[in-house]
Homo-oligomer: A and B are copies of this chain.
Amino acid sequence: MPSSAKNLGYDRGSHTFVESEFHVRYAETDNMGIVHHSTYFVYFEEGRSQYMRDMGSDYAQVETSGYQLPVTEAQVRFSGSLRYGQKVRVRAWIAESLSRRLTFAYEITAGDDPEVLVTGFTRHVWTDSDGKVTRLPEIWRSHFRKQSKNPS
């Protein structure tokens, strides 16, 4: 139960989300036989990257255009875990898009099993290539707006 997401108003609700799916990598497992907790931030990043690709805003292009989106805060909550042999399905959506700040939220399931095992968010700030904080660049404005079937 993603109470953090809930508390923070980051529940998926009617947001437009993007799904990506890939196999757990053996190198990602640990001595407990489960995926190491730090790895889920890499899974979130894959979900976020796929979101950007689907929205036509490939993060590689963001950096080429002279901007960066470093992480300023990140959180993960587990109600279960993944193991080698399972598929990771990540749902990613924009939970918040302000002039300087962008927040992605995530849900992870084991392939098409409906149970949400992991939730989390990553908060980012817009900077130029020197790391100086900037406003959401005009050229990226349309790609990074909060998207929803019934816009709020």
Contact = CB atoms under 8 A, between A and B. Distances in A.
A141 interface: no
A49 interface: yes
B38 A39 contact: yes
Contacts of A68: 32
A83 B63 CA distance: 12
A59 B4 contact: no
Contact of A76 (B22, B74, B81, B85): B74
A49 B87 CA distance: 13
A105 to B, nearest CB: 14
B81 A70 contact: yes
Interface in A133-152: none
A46 B22 CA distance: 11
Interface in A10-43: 22-23, 25-27, 29-34, 36-39, 41-42
A50 to B, nearest CB: 8
A112 interface: no
Given A73-B4, A74-B75, A77-B72, A63 B31 contact: yes
A136 B60 CA distance: 32
Interface string A98-142: 000000000000000000000000100000000000000000000
Interface of A: 4, 22-23, 25-27, 29-34, 36-39, 41-42, 45-46, 49, 58-61, 63, 68, 70-78, 81, 83-85, 122
